[in-house]
Amino acid sequence: MKIQQLALLLIILILLLSCSEKNKEKPDPVTFDTIFDSKYNLHKILIFTIHRKVEIEGYLNIKGTTSLHEKNMNLAFSEKKNNSGRSLSASVRMGTSPNQAEKLPKFYSKDDLRIHTNENEIIGVDIRVKLTGKIFCPKDNTSCYIMVERIDKTG
């Protein structure tokens, strides 16, 4: 019985610490050379899944199959302009506030992409940005994506 109580207390403590430290977590600076390293894979501790917070520079763009969800838009994020080089998906919240992407029209081209940076500057494709957010890489590293929390223009 005491082991169960101790385990429950430990779970509550982990939950409280993870909630209070969530916004204070300093992101790991990564590049397209290092983001696919196994240390960024999902880690499970008991019933919790741990995702690393990272910051990475590259270019946002519309991919041929950009998917629009109720609140998020999945964009291509490449190491070079014009969707070239290595890439991953970036899930960006939709809206007109800082760190969001405006909803695309029904029929769109890459020129319709309007991203609001952290400073609320509106940018489009082929502008170098630094994304900060949680990285999601399955163990096989075939389809990594970042849940974007912050977008900063760097170039």
Q: What's 49's domain CATH number?
A: 2.40.50.140
Domain carrying residue 136: 26-153
Give Cα separations from 63 to 30, 41, 51, 76, 120 (angstroms).
23, 24, 25, 6, 23
- In the numeric block, the tokens 């969001």 are attached to 100
pTM listed for this prediction: 0.77
pLDDT by residue for the chain (155 residues), tens digit each?
A: 677 776 666 677 666 666 544 456 788 898 888 877 766 665 555 555 566 789 999 999 987 656 666 789 999 999 998 888 888 899 999 999 999 999 888 888 889 999 999 999 999 998 999 999 988 876 665 677 899 999 999 97
Domain count, the chain: 1
Residues across the chain: 155
Would 11 be classed as within a structural domain? no
* 145/112 Cα distance (integer angstroms): 22
- 14 occurs within a structural domain: no
DSSP state of 127: -
